[in-house]
Amino acid sequence: MLLQMAFSGPSLLHPSSAYRLNPLIFTKCRRSFGLSRFHFRRLQQRQLAVAASANGVFTSPEIAKTFDFASEERIYRWWESQGYFRPHFDQDSVPFVISMPPPNVTGSLHMGHAMFVTLEDIMVRYNRMKGRPTLWLPGTDHAGIATQLVVERMLASEGIKRVELGRDEFTKRVWEWKEKYGGTITNQIKRLGASCDWTKEHFTLDDQLSRAVVEAFVRLHERGLIYQGSYMVNWSPHLQTAVSDLEVEYSEESGTLYHIKYRVAGGSRSDYLTVATTRPETLFGDVAIAVHPQDDRYSKYVGMMAIVPMTYGRHVPIISDKNVDKDFGTGVLKISPGHDHNDYLLARKFGLPILNVMNKDGTLNKVAGLYCGLDRFEARKKLWADLEETGLAVKKEAHTLRVPRSQRGGEIIEPLVSKQWFMTMEPLAEKALRAVEKGDLTIIPERFEKIYNHWLSNIKDWCISRQLWWGHRIPVWYIVGKNPEEDYIVARNADEAHEQAHKKYGKGVEIYQDPDVLDTWFSSALWPFSTLGWPDETAEDFKRFYPTTMLETGHDILFFWVARMVMLGIEFTGTVPFSYIYLHGLIRDSQGRKMSKTLGNVIDPLDTIKEFGTDALRFTLALGTAGQDLNLSTERLTSNKAFTNKLWNAGKFILQNLPTQNDSQSWKSILSYEFEKEDCLLKLPLPECWIVSELHSLIDVVTASYDKFFFGDVGRDIYNFFWGDFADWYIEASKARLYQSGGNSVALAQAVLLYVFENILKLLHPFMPFVTEELWQALPHRKEALIISPWPQILLPRQAGAVKKFENLKLLTKAIRNARAEYSVEPAKRISASIVASEEVNQYISEEKEVLALLTRLDLHNVHFANAPPGNVDQSVHLVAGEGLEAYLPLADMVDISAELQRLSKRLTKMKTEYDGFIARLNSPSFVEKAPEDIVRGVREKADEAKEKIALTEKRLSLLRSTVPVPDC
């Protein structure tokens, strides 16, 4: 039988509630009742869910007080074992495909990973439930620089250097490290609930992807888009490799500006130019001195020669150029094209030579003369000391520098001219720009289109070679004894290279492969199609799933990765690799600061999951807005953990108020309701019609927001509906049916509770997959697992009139509740009420008198409905709930008038004393004139507030006194 509950008892959703569990709900005998053949067929289809429960995967809310986070891993393993993560082509619909941004194989989970996993899993689970064949393709990146650094440090702890091992042995050690530790990030991503197809997991150094990388290089070279040359690059002395512009981070740091004399050749001792530089050690590479053509201080020297200090009298020309900043330093610029990007461009403009003064390890070379072999920073100190000794040092002053540092190692980057492999980007960028312009590619949020267009319109050639051992070896072979810049072979493998070399140079020729590897981002740029089988365009996965649907990632790698994928996708496949780009923001701490170990504000997702659960973390992260940074706080996580508990308690309440499964007649009544049909909706009583109508509206709104990728709106709308409408209002209203009405009203309330709750679970599942699946499995008559259950239908019927009517009932309820609180009426005390409204309003509210009485603790037998005020209005609290809807509550029912008069009189005296104090301060000239303006304003506001409270209290006292009988004389 149904759980019976006292009419005046606490809400079952309240933590202090006492629950009686029904042990029959989840026993085997519960499945052995008789139903019609139609309903019996429906029950047979839920065998997967029943089997899962029987196997101990799931826990019912009737057994557990709260959702146990430890069950999340069990649920995840069950989903994966059932094959739910794989795409299924049951329906003829367009696949939804998303490629996971491959995290570094060296990585460990941080909030950035948690963000992308959450958002991508939301998209995947939603589209899976919509019936689309859904593929979320996972994988990891070999992370050339980062991985090599990790292994080098590990070897260093053993006293071993990379060069001592040799290339083959070192790469063998890296592979061993990868096999041992490389799966850490993958397992952590699974912990977040990522429903990826792990059977298709890839690694950027897999054979298939490596073949794609080589093929891409060969084709690009054949098309004249890859070339070799000596150009200015960002050089990492410690890592001994070039790094991308995008891998250089600039930080504001305290430094020094050095002022140095450059004497004018042939001039007197007073003829010199003072150069201000932050890097004096590069002066050995100076090839000119430049001033602004309109700078009158130096115009007389233009065309003459200057003597570079400490170089034994080396002369360089003094030139003029409008790009020189007259206001920086002294207005004189030393041009060192081998060590500065801007100087490099000026040297090319004027045809100046390029001098390199630095070795690859950051020491000065023989061009620096006596300073050869010194580290760049040691050389700076010694050079300045020598300049001071020779009288060429003018001064040095503190200066804030914009220092370029390696994103990986953190060391200061050295601009250096180096021979590298480059890719011509301009023709590729033009196609990528047109893709957005034509609408083939949509960027979300739209504002990033301008940034995307600006970057592609000003793109530079890409340095794709790296001086590392871990990565994709550049498929170029050189001829022994030949000029490597002129004679080289590009081939797909060593055999093909030998064959080409023999044809061109003869049988006895010897060749050797380029020692460099390709930039990690080169292989990542092929990710959406290399993972699907390209260059084999007949591969089943490539034909089925390319182009993909969505690329989701952080806005900070829009150029690192996303734009490059667009360019190479169009180049190699003729189409954009995805239709949408969704860019999320960074996650910051509660104060809006970037998370860093230095600040000590890093929040570990795994620690967060242990304390708050995966669902609460995901829900919190998903409530942000696309492209905007999100401030993560413990308060938000705590609030959303409470939301998880609220869901759990709602499930508990519903399950406890459903019939046992051997009560076949009750279940027949429950399952007979077809709320998707309008004629059924029209027959429903007001509360049920309202909640079902609101649910149908919610389904439409939420589905539209999912389709527009407005995930923050989705989360907020579901949260507000569940907590505000369903839990706070309908569940409470349903108790009037469940515990008082009897008959068909009980079955109706049960059916509505079940229908609304199961649809809430569906709508919420992409956000909070674990608790929703657990609750779904506990509900009776589930056809299948929630993860693959069909999405709710849209455009279902609703009754706007019922919604408006119930809103009136809510307003009336709130007004009565507020009055009870204002007069401190005991919660259990029943009071009388007279409801005054038009005949139409009174009719539908009176029909729900039991619900109104339950929600407001009215005396059911003393609730009266009329179209005019009662005779005792002078002795009642008058409430205006809405236009044309009023209530009168007899004061005698609500308070002990004599005691309340005494209490309010004391309170009024105290308030007047406080008010007089405020007025006295405001009337004091010394206070008003001398106190800060905000303090005076605060006192004035307190006085106004006190005055208002006094007026309200006097009004209430007057009302109470009017109810006290006047004694006869």
Q: What is the DSSP string of 228-296?
A: EEEEEEEEETTTTEEE-GGGEEEEEEEEEEEEEEEEBTTS-TT-EEEEEES-GGGGGG--EEEE-TT-T
Phi then psi dihedrals of residue 46, to 5 deg: -95, 25
In angstroms, the CA 379 to CA 370 distance is 10
Query: Which two tokens mark 15?
Result: 């933590």
Which residue type, as a one-letter code, is found at position 884? G
Task: Give the Cβ contact number of residue 270 at 10 Å.
Answer: 7
Cβ–Cβ under 8 Å, residues 397 and 258: no
Asked if 550 contacts 708 with a C-beta cutoff of 8 angstroms, the reply is no
Given a contact cutoff of 8 angstroms between Cβ atoms, the answer to whether 864 and 870 are in contact is: yes
- Which of these, 500, 443, 440, 490, lies nearest to 214 by C-alpha position? 490
Fold exhibited by the domain 633-789:
Isoleucyl-tRNA Synthetase; Domain 1 (1.10.730)
In the sheet that holds 462-463, the strands lie side by side as 241-243, 226-236, 414-423, 462-463
φ, ψ for residue 333, nearest 5 deg? -115, 125
Closest CA to 188 of 105, 265, 130: 105
Among positive and negative, which fits the CA dihedral 615, 617, 620, 624? negative
Compute the CA torsion angle 826, 827, 831, 834 (nearest 10 deg): 120
Q: Quick one: which of 648, 441, 712 has its CA closest to 550?
A: 441
Q: How far is residue 803's CA from residue 686's CA, in Å, rounded to a whole number?
A: 8
Report residue 423 as tokens.
């890719």
Q: Give me the pLDDT at residue 352, please.
A: 93
DSSP 8-state code for residue 890: E
| Cβ count near 804 (within 10 Å) | 10
Which pLDDT score is estimated for 257?
Answer: 95
Contact criterion met (CB below 8 Å) for 570 and 435: yes
CA 365 and chain centroid, separation? 48
Q: What is the pLDDT of residue 13?
A: 37
Q: How far apart are CA 439 and CA 431, in angstroms?
A: 12
What is d(CA 84, CA 79) in angstroms, rounded to the nearest whole number?
6
- Whether cis (ω within 30° of 0) applies to the bond prior to 528 is no
Tokens of 483: 């000029």
The answer to whether 364 and 357 have CB atoms below 8 angstroms apart is yes
Tokens of 855: 């929600």
Distance (Å, rounded) from C-alpha 194 to C-alpha 73?
A: 11
Structure tokens at 394: 């003018």
Q: Contact, 919 vs 943, CB < 8 A? A: yes
Q: Is residue 868 exposed (0-12), middle (13-18) or buried (19+ Cβ within 10 Å)?
A: exposed
Q: Tell me, what DSSP letter sits at residue 470? A: S
The maximal CA–CA distance of the chain, rounded, in angstroms, is: 137
User: Which CATH number is associated with domain 898-963?
Assistant: 1.10.287.380
Q: Write down the pLDDT at residue 968.
A: 52
The tokens describing 235, both together, are 């050089």
Three-state DSSP state, 477: strand
Buried b (16+ CB within 10 A) or exposed e, 179-197: eeebeebbebbbbbbbbbb
Are 559 and 425 in contact, with CB atoms under 8 Å apart? no
- The per-residue b/e assignment along 3-36, b for 16 or more CB within 10 angstroms, e otherwise, is bebeeeeebbbeeeeeeeebeebbeeebeebebe
Q: Which candidate, 522, 183, 170, 249, places its Cα nearest to that of 408?
A: 249
Q: In what helix (H) or strand (E) does residue 119 lie, and over which residues does it extend?
A: helix 111-129
pLDDT value at residue 52:
52
d(CA 524, CA 464): 12
Assigned architecture for domain 86-199+546-621? 3-Layer(aba) Sandwich (3.40)
Fold of the 236-416 domain: Isoleucyl-tRNA Synthetase; domain 2 (3.90.740)
Rg over CA atoms, the chain: 38
- For residue 134, give Cα distances in angstroms to 128, 254, 478, 718: 6, 52, 46, 24
Cα separation, 664 vs 408, whole angstroms: 66
Given the DSSP bridges, would you call strands 202-203 and 858-866 parallel, antiparallel or unpaired?
unpaired
Q: What is the rounded distance in angstroms from the CA atom of residue 86 to the CA atom of residue 788? A: 11
Closest CA to 885 of 904, 869, 873, 898: 869
pLDDT given for residue 20 in this prediction? 29
- Decide if 529 contacts 537 (C-beta within 8 A): no
Q: Which long-range contacts (CB under 8 A, 24 or more apart) does 720-724 make?
A: 721/694, 721/695, 721/760, 722/646, 722/647, 722/650, 722/760, 722/764, 723/643, 723/646
What are the distances in angstroms from CA 362 to CA 246, 413, 516?
Answer: 21, 10, 19
Q: How far apart are the first and last CA of the chain?
A: 63
Q: In 3-state terms, what secondary structure has residue 397?
A: strand
Tokens describing residue 660:
């046992």
Sequence-distant (≥ 6) Cβ neighbours of residue 882 within 8 angstroms: 808, 811, 812
Q: Which residues of the chain have pLDDT under 70?
A: 1-55, 91, 596-598, 741-742, 963-969
Tokens 């109706």: give the residue.
748
The residue ranges of every structural domain in the chain are 86-199+546-621, 236-416, 633-789, 804-895, 898-963
CB–CB of 344/418 below 8 Å?
A: no
What token pair was written down for 760? Answer: 């809430």
pTM of the model: 0.83
What DSSP character marks residue 562? I
Q: Which residues contact 134 (CB under 8 A, 6 or more apart)?
A: 87, 95, 96, 97, 124, 127, 128
Tokens 């004061």: give the residue. Answer: 891
By residue count, the chain amounts to 969
Integer Cα distance of 123 and 714 in angstroms:
12
CA distance 417 to 337: 8
Q: Are 421 and 227 in contact (CB under 8 A)?
A: yes
